[in-house]
């Protein structure tokens, strides 16, 4: 009898879409699978800002526990939600080809306020990274907390008196929910690994590793690794005002990263270019360079604040 590979996922529309994509890709390799969905702590508590919930693995720890308990064979995550240090006994099995890494602004009425850096507006996001970058650019704006799955957050925007809210482009585009009244924030650097989907499995499950290797995209995996190395070397938390982007062009990796103070008033930035064959430690090297050029003071403030 053929073994059916069990795929663990959160039960939000986006998470199920991602897991279904994995299921379809596995089917192309003639591998039969089934979805096992469950709620995570991050889906149940929709009020507390993300950076106040014991942030590490808030969207992954429920699935981690179930995976280690053999309730399914692999789990599918938005890679930006996965702690840089995976749970003991769990390993990265594959990274799918990356979608858009960009953030978008979904606005209420018009975007004229974006052209005036001294304007007053109310923008919603639960991301401390987006908040810090936004306040750096628009110091007079007010940031409101916005939690919930994609559908809930989009509904809140229409029901609120906010000027707009920030979303990951990949999240709304994957489930065909990107509104017409949205624009890409080309100036905003993304969260490390934003737009990438990660598959994990148990460390000792060689069969699952072998199957997932069929789906791995080496370029996306390398870029995500570099970005996550940068994050881990600076602070380690996945809910910090740290951004990173690695892109491959003409056999070179182009890297940009930054760290902001929570209020957006201080920042340190770094840019590096290297050949792909020399890029293994690019994220770590970039983080060390950033720490030595003003980033250390900002990182210490964030750490001391307990974020």
Q: Which residues are catalytic?
A: 81
164-168 and 122-124 strand pairing: parallel
Residue 77 β-bridge partners: 198
98, exposed or middle or buried, with CB in 10 Å at 0-12, 13-18, 19+?
buried
Residue 143 β-bridge partners: 123
With left for phi above 0 and alpha for psi between -120 and 50, is residue 264 left, alpha or beta? left
Residue 167 β-bridge partners: 104
Token digits of residue 228:
């996550």
CB distance 243 to 189 below 8 Å: yes
CB distance 125 to 163 below 8 Å: no
Outline where DSSP puts E strands in the chain: 5-10, 33-38, 74-78, 90-95, 103-107, 122-124, 142-144, 164-168, 182-184, 197-202, 242-249, 252-260, 267-275
User: What is the C-alpha to C-alpha distance for residues 131 and 6, in angstroms, rounded to an integer?
Assistant: 37
If DSSP codes are grouped into helix, strand and coil, which group holds residue 12? coil
């Amino acid at each position: 009898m053929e073994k059916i590979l069990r795929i663990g996922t959160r039960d939000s529309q986006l998470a199920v879409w991602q897991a279904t994509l994995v299921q379809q890709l596995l089917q192309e390799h003639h591998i039969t699978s089934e979805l096992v969905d469950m709620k995570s702590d991050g889906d149940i508590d929709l009020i507390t800002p993300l950076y106040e919930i014991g942030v590490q693995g808030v969207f992954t720890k429920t699935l981690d526990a179930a995976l280690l308990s053999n309730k399914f064979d692999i789990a599918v995550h938005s890679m930006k939600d996965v702690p840089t240090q995976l749970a003991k006994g769990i390993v990265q099995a594959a990274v799918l080809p990356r979608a858009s890494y960009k953030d978008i602004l979904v606005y209420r009425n018009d975007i004229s306020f974006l052209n005036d850096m001294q304007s007053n507006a109310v923008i919603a996001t639960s991301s401390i990274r987006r908040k810090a970058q936004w306040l750096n650019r628009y110091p007079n704006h007010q940031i409101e907390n916005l939690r919930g799955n994609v559908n809930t957050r989009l509904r809140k925007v229409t029901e609120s008196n906010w000027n707009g809210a920030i979303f990951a482009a990949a999240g709304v585009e994957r489930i065909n929910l990107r509104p017409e009244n949205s624009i890409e924030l080309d100036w905003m650097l993304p969260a490390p690994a934003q737009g990438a989907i990660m598959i994990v499995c148990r460390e000792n499950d060689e069969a699952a590793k072998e199957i997932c290797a069929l789906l791995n995209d080496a370029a996306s995996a390398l870029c995500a690794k570099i970005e996550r190395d940068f994050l881990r070397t600076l602070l380690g938390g996945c809910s910090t005002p740290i951004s990173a982007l690695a892109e491959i062009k003409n056999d070179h990796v182009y890297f940009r990263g930054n760290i902001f103070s929570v209020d957006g008033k201080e920042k340190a930035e770094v840019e590096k270019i290297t050949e792909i064959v020399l890029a293994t430690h690019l994220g770590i090297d970039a983080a060390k360079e950033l720490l030595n050029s003003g980033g250390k003071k900002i990182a210490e403030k964030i750490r001391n604040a307990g974020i």
